[in-house]
Copies of this chain bind each other. A is one copy, B any other.
Amino acid sequence: MKLKNGAEYIESLKKLHPVIYYKGKKIEDVTRHPATSPHVRAAAMTYALASDKNLEDLATATSHITGRKISRFTHVHQNVEDLIKKVKLLRVLGQKTGTCFQRCVGLDGINATYSVLHEMDQKHDTDYLERFKKWLTTIQDENRMVVGAMTDPKGDRSKAPVDQPDPDQYVHIVERRNDGIVIRGAKLHMTGAVNSHEILVMPTVAMDERSRDYAVVCAIPVDAPGVTMIFGRQASDYRRDMKESIDVGKPSFGAVGGEAVIVFEDVFVPKERVFMDGQTDFTGDLVYRFAAHHRANYGACKTGLMDVLIGAVSYLTQIQGTAKASHVRDKVTEMIHLSETLFSSSIACSAEGWATPSGAYMVDTMLANVCKQNVTRLHFEVARLALDLAGGFIATLPSQYDLESEDVGQLVKKYFSGVEGIPTEERVKLARMIEAMTGGTALVESMHGAGSPQAQRIMIFREGELGKKIKLAKALLGIPQKNIRKEVN
């Protein structure tokens, strides 16, 4: 691994020159700009753990291509143990950052692409996987951060890509040259994009023959000509931009991963970086595998965040003198129960992993979708309980300027104190972290990241094997099996 720790990662970013806009202006250095540096620090933690003696077993792996030690975030899972170590790593990172550390989206893109290319090459007699392996070897050896770029803008969602009034609402090939392709379009909600090294472009829906130009997978450096990023807003983002130390919530890290729009304005991609070009028959598998891997992760990283949130709330109730109340304990219990329910599914879909023909391991699709579906519900409930226990001052607390004011600082300290012996500042810091972790942006990310709730339901129904279940019922009742009707499947 070329990049061995957080500092080296941060240094590497300084050498890139991506075009990034935020609030109408260019960001010149993502490692220093207050809007992006918290996210850089969170991603840096993925580099730091790889050299942490206690955690390197989780944080690193052995490349099945080169045999060299690599970051687990660049690894193609080779067995169930790999899958389980990965989700445990995600929980630890969630605990250490209290937020999204962004690298799993590239990891999932790599894994989905790897296994699908193998099958695609078999069917179409192509050699895309070899190209991909070459690119991947560099990623592994240099420990480059990759943003998996899937979600297109979609325009009018009642229409397919080729039926959109604006053909660019899905990324597509606008020109094919001997040495490569030219693509146009955009990807939305790109977590970690501004502080990645590379973009792995993938299609976002299963496509039919009409959409050949839209069936494209390729890798692009973040600062390739024609790539423009626009960094999105978050709740209370000014507090961060104003460099407030307390009211920002977490002093070092952000509330979410830091999302950006990536626009491709006729970006040239050389042949060796093109991994799919027109094979619409494999777009579905690519999307479903990426989605399954990504959904599997949410039950682990979010549980890590909830560990932090539960800790914060528990300590706050101690300060407020309510920790022993039976309803407080019961709500804390419920928060733990819900978070561990999520973790269960992450572990389970990993333990039930299976080998694709390529040798790469997939998680169990049903359980991975179940995992994410629960995240879209239970994170809200955990947040609701946290806010219940924390109290109304989460919404009414004066700012840190008032806390530090010569005029009214003493009043704030006096009237927001709790049990004797703990400074009001600790109570305020906890409140601000809870505010940040339960506010809008954080919850929307849990809702829509890795696919909106309805996307999981479609998969759960599809994987539900209703025909088999009907057979079980009939068998128990002695009803002949012949009449399995088509309606349900």
Stretch at the interface among A66-74, A200-208, A284-292, A435-443: A435-443
Chain B residues with CB under 8 Å of A325's CB are: 454
The minimal Cβ–Cβ distance linking A163 to chain B, given in whole angstroms, is 11
Closest 10 CB pairs of A and B: A392-B448, A24-B401, A238-B238, A311-B469, A326-B326, A439-B440, A395-B444, A351-B351, A311-B473, A259-B396
Residue of B nearest to A421 (CB): B483
The minimal Cβ–Cβ distance linking A329 to chain B, given in whole angstroms, is 6
Chosen A-B contacts, 29 in total, with CB atoms closer than 8 Å, are: A22-B398, A24-B407, A95-B472, A158-B324, A168-B414, A230-B398, A230-B402, A231-B398, A232-B396, A232-B399, A235-B439, A251-B478, A263-B408, A307-B472, A311-B469, A312-B470, A324-B487, A330-B457, A332-B466, A333-B460, A344-B347, A345-B348, A350-B351, A377-B384, A388-B447, A391-B452, A392-B452, A429-B477, A439-B439
The minimal Cβ–Cβ distance linking A239 to chain B, given in whole angstroms, is 7
Residue of B nearest to A425 (CB): B479
A266 close to B (CB within 8 Å): no
Chain B residues with CB under 8 Å of A391's CB are: 448, 452
Quickly give the copy total for this chain: 4
Q: Would you call A380 and B384 a contact (CB within 8 A)?
A: yes
The minimal Cβ–Cβ distance linking A54 to chain B, given in whole angstroms, is 15
Chain B residues with CB under 8 Å of A173's CB are: none
Query: In the complex, which of the residues A247, A322, A415 has the most CB atoms of chain B within 10 Å of its own CB atom?
Result: A415
Query: In the complex, which of the residues A231, A349, A366, A398 has the most CB atoms of chain B within 10 Å of its own CB atom?
Result: A398
A162 close to B (CB within 8 Å): no
20 additional contacts (CB under 8 A) given A186-B415, A228-B408, A340-B370: A24-B408, A151-B392, A155-B417, A155-B419, A230-B408, A233-B397, A233-B398, A256-B395, A308-B469, A314-B470, A315-B474, A318-B485, A324-B487, A337-B370, A343-B367, A347-B351, A377-B384, A392-B449, A394-B444, A433-B473
Q: Would you call A351 and B440 a contact (CB within 8 A)?
A: no
A166 close to B (CB within 8 Å): yes
Chain B residues with CB under 8 Å of A281's CB are: none
A219 close to B (CB within 8 Å): no
Q: Would you call B21 and A402 a contact (CB within 8 A)?
A: yes
A 219-244 to B, binary, CB cutoff 8 A, 1 in contact else 0: 00000000010111111111100100
A445 close to B (CB within 8 Å): yes
A216 close to B (CB within 8 Å): no
A374 close to B (CB within 8 Å): yes
A 385-413 to B, binary, CB cutoff 8 A, 1 in contact else 0: 00110011111111101101101100110
The minimal Cβ–Cβ distance linking A340 to chain B, given in whole angstroms, is 5
Q: Would you call B157 and A321 a contact (CB within 8 A)?
A: yes
A373 close to B (CB within 8 Å): yes
Q: Would you call A457 and B398 a contact (CB within 8 A)?
A: no
Q: Would you call B315 and A417 a contact (CB within 8 A)?
A: no
Q: Would you call A387 and B447 a contact (CB within 8 A)?
A: yes
Cα-based distance from A198 to B420 in the complex (angstroms): 34
Cα-based distance from A126 to B341 in the complex (angstroms): 40
Cα-based distance from A231 to B466 in the complex (angstroms): 34
A107 close to B (CB within 8 Å): no
Q: Would you call B344 and A371 a contact (CB within 8 A)?
A: yes
